[in-house]
Amino acid sequence: MPYPIDERIPLADASVSVEEIQAVAEVLTSRRLALGPKLSEFERAMADYVGVRHAVAVNSGTSALHLILEGLGIGEGDEVITTSFSFIASANCILFVRATPVFVDIDPTTLCIDPARVEAAITPKTKAILAVDVFGHPADWPELERIAEAHGLLLIEDSAEALGSTLGGRPCGSFGCAGIFGFYPNKQITTGEGGMIVTDDGELANVCRSMANQGRGEGDEWLEHVRLGYNYRMDELSAALGLAQLGRIGEFIESRTRVASWYEEELAACPEITTPSIADRATSSWFVYVVRLSDDFDAAQRNAILAALECEGIGCRNYFAPIHLQPFYREALGTKAGSLPVTERIGARTIALPFFNRLTRAQVARVAAALRSAIDEVRRG
């Protein structure tokens, strides 16, 4: 029997306080709902937080990636090496500019792109590497930087899931020629929908800002357009919400780290699953909490466990489904099963558990108990 809705534990839940509500209300009262001061404040605060010179707010992380690729001149005939173990936007943006995504396998521990596989995939057509900080864990950026420099490639950081994560004390989003963040409600901070480009390249920032605003040039008249552009702007309400949320980022990361530690304690004695680990010199701001079933489980058994958790009123999901196995990519690029064995093995066995700032210890214990019970049930057949 389904749980009553008020007893269900959702997969994700945004933290919005009185301060955020007041910040949005102030914008409504001002009647300046677009292209106002809150947008500039949010961009400056984000650039300062990441430690870069420029930030450009847009309406989604997907738009942010698209603009970076356009701004860097990546296009038809170019190849971009990337990961299949990601949200589909990180590959779609490559197709937006008519370039070709080249998928390589992942590191089985961090779940981020494997630098050795990247180097082996470079061809004369390779223009860039687009790596992802998966689930908030930093990719191996020093090695990716070395590869990019050695081969004259552009390096782009999809840090949509990693605001607040660091590697060697350096914030995610500050590696490569540009990076992006996403602010969907399940992220570390939210603007409802929204994204941010971060870079030290002033020319790239200006071009991206222009393209996000219908191709208008800096200081140009309202109906003068200097390049092809898009309506990718972030509105003032979203910027005000994001600015207030960014002011609480330390609180949010602390809460998420605490919830992750509770899961680790509750699931440490469960031999059928592997819990997330953090590499040396890295910190994670914990976007989601994803466990992996051992290799003697298959995808059908994983799906049965997901169904059992849902019946117990617990939000859950397989996370991620490999991009190269998506129907569209199979048809468009001819990708097929067996080409990325690590990605496919892990993708068939992942379970994302409820994870958000206000999750309680008691709720974590309930989730862990239900997961162990579901695993036992599947084991018994």
Rg of the chain over CA atoms, in angstroms?
Answer: 21
Q: 138 near 161, Cβ under 8 Å? A: no
Of 137, 140, 133, residue with least CA distance to 157 = 133
Go through the domains of the chain in sequence order and give each one's CATH number. Answer: 18-105+112-246 (3.40.640.10), 249-380 (3.90.1150.10)
Helix (H, G, I), strand (E, B) or coil at 233: strand
* 381 residues of the chain, pLDDT tens digit each: 455 556 899 999 999 999 999 999 999 999 899 999 999 999 999 999 999 999 999 999 999 999 999 999 999 999 999 999 999 999 999 999 999 999 999 999 999 999 999 999 999 999 999 999 999 999 999 999 999 999 999 999 999 999 999 999 999 999 999 999 999 999 999 999 999 999 999 999 999 999 999 999 877 667 889 999 999 999 999 999 999 999 999 999 999 999 999 999 999 999 999 999 999 999 999 999 999 999 999 999 999 999 999 999 999 999 999 999 999 999 999 999 999 999 999 999 999 999 999 999 999 999 999 999 999 999 998
Phi, psi of 285 (to 5 degrees): -90, 5
Global confidence as pTM: 0.96
Give the C-alpha separation, 187 to 190, whole Å: 6
- State the catalytic residue, choosing from 38, 125, 127, 187: 187
Of 150, 177, 182, residue with least CA distance to 163 = 182
Helix (H, G, I), strand (E, B) or coil at 369: helix
Report the pLDDT value the prediction gives residue 1, as an integer from 0 to 100.
43
Q: What single DSSP character describes residue 113?
A: B
Of 362, 347, 365, 370, residue with least CA distance to 290 = 347
Of 352, 267, 337, 268, residue with least CA distance to 306 = 352
| Residue 54: partners with Cβ closer than 8 Å, 6 or more residues away | 43, 47, 197, 198, 199, 200, 201, 202, 204, 205
Give the C-alpha separation, 217 to 170, whole Å: 33
Q: 157-187: buried (b, 16+ CB within 10 Å) or exposed (e) per residue?
A: bbbbbbbbbbbeeebbbbbbbbbbbbbbebb
38 is an active site residue: no
Report the pLDDT value the prediction gives residue 223, as an integer from 0 to 100.
80
